[in-house]
Structure 1
Amino acid sequence: MSWLTEMPQMSRADMLTLRQTLDGAYRTFSRQYGDSIEAFFNPLLQFLIGFERLLLTTPWWLVLGVITALVYAASRSWKLSLGVVVALMLIGWFGMWEDTMRTMSIIMVCTLLAIAMGIPIGILMAASDRARSVITPVLDVMQTMPAFVYLIPVVMLLGIGRIPGVIAVVIYAIPPVIRLTNLGIRLVDKEVLEAATAYGVSPLQRLLGVQLPLAMPNIMAGINQTIMMALAMVVIASMIGVQGLGQPVLRSITNQYFTLGLLNGLAIVVLAIIFDRVSQAYARRAQRHMGVRDS
């Protein structure tokens, strides 16, 4: 192991100087632009607060009915809809309804943001090899970076609260929908694209009418994985003030409350299963419908 001591290394003084320089630059940036960035995200904060308040102030039976109706509309499955009703009623019976609604609100907002940003980026990657060569390493870093590291820059920039949590969750959860959108579009049969071009469709019409519908199974798989990763980030985001099921889990870790952590962890699992089953059922229905239509 003597070769390790011979390996050229940066001196501790140089390393300390580099770290101090980078930390100072980021502090200066956060002081100069932190208020502007916070003002930029203020509409999102107001929407998130309003959506969360809507779920909390609406009678539980009405929220349950709306969720069940949405689940049935997406899946056309009475068994799945009944399972959702039973699961959510058990969550309410164990006194976790409010935290579940808070978690559901932030997951839905984060998922919508990830879809709104991820699908266009995936389309760009599919349309340009140069863009793919630039974006792919960034996605690799995002997917391998420890989840806790995402909290550091957003907390330094925006402090503790909902918006830093939303940003961290979106950054952590967005790579799957980008990758699978790109993959789905690239897997579209070239003969189908040539036939569409022969009919004289424009590139936009070909994208919206041919590529995206045929890539929808892959896109839905990406959305499904994004939802799962967002739920996995909930507990970590609770460390910076994101309310919901993550905070009781974090409290149970620090105070060794086994039952509290177990019940809230199971509630997160229930939400994950609901989102997973509903998104998969919707993807299967859309694929069958598309197959019937194409035939």
Structure 2
Amino acid sequence: MSEPLTTAFGVARGDHAWIRYAGEDERRELRAAQVLTAAERGERVVFVHAGARRGRPGDAPVEGGQATVIAPRDAGFAAGRLDARRLMDVLEQQIAHAARLGLRGLRLCVELADVLQETPDVAEHGRARGEGNGPTGGCPLAALPALPRPPAIICHGDRARLPGPRLRALERRHALVLEAEPALTRGPQLCVLPVHGPAGLRLVGELDGSNIGVLARALETAPLDGRDLHLDVRELRHADVAAVRLLVRVAAAMPDGHRLVLHAPGPVVSAVLRHFGWAGRLVLEEGGWG
């Protein structure tokens, strides 16, 4: 069974996550973490928050086109509601811009307390402030149509600015719900499980320098299937360059005729292998097993 996602750094393209925080310090740390994650993954990050409307570029570092800030109204949010077509146009433009910069994808980070703000005339006509897109009060991004290359959608929510019922309704509409403090910890969880048919290991969670020793020790005693060492990485949500380099070194040290086979590597692992010219040193299989 997959371990739950525990950090903001592991949220990948196609995910829709909710990270709740409290206060200005955690807000700044969250934005900085999103820029760092985009840099590590070779992605562009788009922030949607009210700071842009007030003429401030935001407090996230912006270098080489890695990040940009858009006002809620420019992204299709107005009076607590979302113009999905407008946001889809913005996302398609940003994805195309990321591709021109040589980046592999997009992260959309939305400050929900900003985009769900009501205008005074709306509140005066009987709808409670913070009610948002209908009586359920769900996340307006939940109904966004799918894109061919979907972004990672990360909703940030300030507990102090969102009323309790609204906060709970938003959380119910997100498959991934994280608290800012543990989500900002650079100590991802990794679970290494034995599998059979073929014999090997399944890697679940997130992998970087903080737990690379766990993987190294597991590889030393991993069962072989004939001459091959099989690793199922379909549930490995994130792996940094050091982790992928370890796999390449293990493959290079194997005797002639032996192979290290990666099953279902995700886009991050595959991109690192291609970027450093390591793809030819491992056998990559599309499907997982077990």
Report which of the two has the higher share of helix.
1
TM > 0.5 fold call: no
TM-score category, normalised to shorter length: under 0.3
Normalising by structure 2, what TM-score?
0.26
Normalising by structure 1, report the TM-score.
0.26
